[in-house]
């Protein structure tokens, strides 16, 4: 091929292959400024986009969610703003761009005017063989009495902490049907209701009795075969991006709520009618207040598993040493003395924490415990109520199912 022919071929290839460049300036206009200040409530923002080209949107956050992330030409973008339940205002910046122009949308959402009070739907699954047995098929009024006293413990601002929550009897079942008795689901149990609580908690056959833990707190009531065990609970999970010491990462359950065990609290119906001889509080109230503390992320205030309860304001003590002291007593000791403990740092104190075992006053949560519970409410999967991190922003389908853990 000679030089002239080569040049000709190159010119033909070039002009044949290249399209004429689009020199039209691409337009992209948003409403003036595109700066939005919204209150802390859930809301929708509609933003008109004026464009003569393809456009893309980036910068969505878990609380400021666009209905689309791309489009062509003129369109209306809808941003779903979630309620801000937190004490800080928050900001999101989204960017719309086409080939030539970038425009920002800035959204600032006010902090919650008052702390969000979590209303946690609770459902008591009452297991019975004999419908006429009041211990098995416990009366509605008895359950409401217990629940009222539990809520009083969780809202006690005098000695304890108002935990910012209320356990509310569920009004509807998972299919949306109105319950005959709010908060109560009576189950004619196919087998004996004398059950080993540890076996019950692990048995995948019992998942069928569980109502979606993201919507309800499930409390099972039956007779334990385990001696001196009044209640048992699962611990919650935490999230990978905002963990809580002592809890397992449960991101997976944000998007894949398939459980292989019944995530619930169980209480022993043998203690439904007994009352603590000194405190004069029903054992069922003390037990369920304690177990719900576990369900919401609290550990015992004594050395156990884990060694620490991750709360600096609860003195740690060695339960084994205390129990050895109890066993060695040879003469009666007052309740006041029985409630004394010696911390691992040598400080003597009176036990009044709800997350302790007897003997103690069992009527107080601390500020650090409140912070843990608040963290769980705002972040943890399998806990009802709004979450700070939206499950749609998570992707953990391939993550191993975290180890489930019970605690008494
Ligand atoms: Zn416990």
**Spacing, Cα 299 to ligand 1 middle (Å):** 7
145 and 280 co-located in one domain: yes
259 and 177 co-located in one domain: yes
Beta bridge partners of 54: 72
* 319 burial level (CB within 10 Å; 0-12, 13-18, 19+): middle
Per-residue pLDDT, 258: 78
102 and 126 co-located in one domain: no
For residue 9, tell me if it sits in a domain: no
159 and 204 co-located in one domain: yes
246 and 325 co-located in one domain: yes
**Spacing, Cα 300 to ligand 1 middle (Å):** 6
For residue 21, tell me if it sits in a domain: no
For residue 397, tell me if it sits in a domain: yes
Q: Which CATH number goes with the domain that contains 128?
A: 3.40.390.10
171 and 240 co-located in one domain: yes
**Spacing, Cα 208 to ligand 1 middle (Å):** 26
**Spacing, Cα 19 to ligand 1 middle (Å):** 74
Global pTM reads 0.81
**Spacing, Cα 316 to ligand 1 middle (Å):** 15
58 and 131 co-located in one domain: no
**Over the stretch 138-163, which tens digit does the pLDDT of each residue have?**
999 999 999 999 999 999 999 999 99
**Spacing, Cα 360 to ligand 1 middle (Å):** 13
Ranges of residues in the chain with a pLDDT under 70 are 1-21, 87-88, 389-399
**Spacing, Cα 267 to ligand 1 middle (Å):** 12
Q: Which of 224, 220, 332 is nearest to 265 (CA)?
A: 220
146 and 226 co-located in one domain: yes
Q: Which CATH number goes with the domain that contains 62?
A: 2.60.40.10
For residue 54, tell me if it sits in a domain: yes
For residue 251, tell me if it sits in a domain: yes
180 and 238 co-located in one domain: yes
84 and 185 co-located in one domain: no
Helix axes 283-295, 140-154, angle to 10 degrees: 60
For residue 48, tell me if it sits in a domain: yes
Q: In 203-301, where does DSSP find H-type helix?
A: 252-255, 283-295
| Domain endpoint, select from 71, 88, 109 | 109
Q: How remote is the C-alpha of 151 from its chain's centroid?
A: 18
81 and 207 co-located in one domain: no
Tally of domains in the chain? 2
For residue 99, tell me if it sits in a domain: yes
**Over the stretch 41-98, which tens digit does the pLDDT of each residue have?**
999 999 999 999 999 999 888 889 999 999 999 999 999 999 888 766 888 999 999 9
Per-residue pLDDT, 12: 47
Q: Which of 195, 203, 233, 205 is nearest to 217 (CA)?
A: 233
Kindly tell me the sign of the dihedral angle through the C-alpha atoms of 14, 18, 24, 29.
negative
Per-residue pLDDT, 70: 95
Per-residue pLDDT, 87: 65
For residue 86, the enclosing domain spans 28-109
For residue 12, tell me if it sits in a domain: no
199 and 305 co-located in one domain: yes
């Amino acid at each position: 091929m000679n030089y002239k022919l080569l040049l000709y071929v190159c010119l033909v290839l070039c002009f044949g292959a290249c399209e004429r460049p689009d020199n039209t300036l691409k337009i992209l206009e948003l409403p003036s400024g595109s700066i939005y200040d919204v209150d802390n409530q859930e809301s929708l923002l509609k933003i008109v986009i004026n464009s003569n080209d393809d456009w893309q949107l980036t910068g969505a956050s878990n609380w400021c969610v666009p209905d689309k992330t791309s489009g062509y030409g003129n369109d209306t973008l809808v941003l779903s703003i979630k309620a801000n339940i937190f004490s800080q205002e928050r900001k999101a910046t989204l960017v719309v761009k086409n080939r030539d122009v970038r425009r920002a949308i800035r959204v600032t959402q006010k902090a919650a005017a008052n702390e969000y009070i979590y209303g946690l739907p609770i459902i008591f699954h009452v297991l019975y063989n004999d419908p006429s047995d009041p211990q098995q098929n416990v009366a509605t009024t008895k359950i409401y009495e217990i629940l009222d006293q539990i809520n009083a413990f969780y809202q006690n601002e005098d000695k304890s902490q108002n935990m910012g929550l209320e356990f509310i009897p569920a009004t509807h079942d998972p299919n949306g049907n109105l319950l005959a008795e709010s908060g109560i689901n009576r189950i004619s149990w196919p087998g004996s209701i004398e059950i080993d609580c540890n076996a019950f908690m692990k048995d995948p056959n019992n998942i069928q009795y569980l109502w979606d833990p993201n919507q309800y707190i499930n409390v099972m009531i039956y007779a334990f075969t385990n001696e001196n065990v009044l209640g048992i609970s699962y611990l919650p999970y935490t999230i990978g991006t905002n963990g809580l010491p002592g809890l397992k990462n449960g991101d997976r359950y944000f998007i894949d709520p398939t459980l292989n065990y019944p995530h619930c609290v169980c209480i022993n119906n043998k203690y439904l009618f007994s009352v603590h001889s000194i405190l004069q509080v029903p054992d069922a109230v003390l037990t369920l207040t304690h177990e719900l503390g576990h369900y919401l992320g609290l550990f015992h205030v004594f050395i156990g598993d884990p060694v620490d309860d991750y709360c600096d304001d609860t003195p740690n003590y060695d339960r084994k040493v205390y129990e050895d002291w109890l066993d060695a007593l040879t003469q009666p000791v007052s309740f006041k003395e029985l409630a004394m403990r010696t911390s691992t740092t040598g400080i003597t104190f009176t036990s009044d924490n709800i997350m302790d075992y007897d003997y103690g006053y069992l009527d107080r949560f601390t500020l650090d415990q409140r912070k843990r519970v608040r963290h769980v409410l705002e972040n943890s999967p399998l806990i009802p109520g709004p979450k700070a991190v939206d499950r749609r922003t998570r992707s953990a389908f391939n993550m191993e199912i975290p180890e489930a853990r019970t605690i008494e």
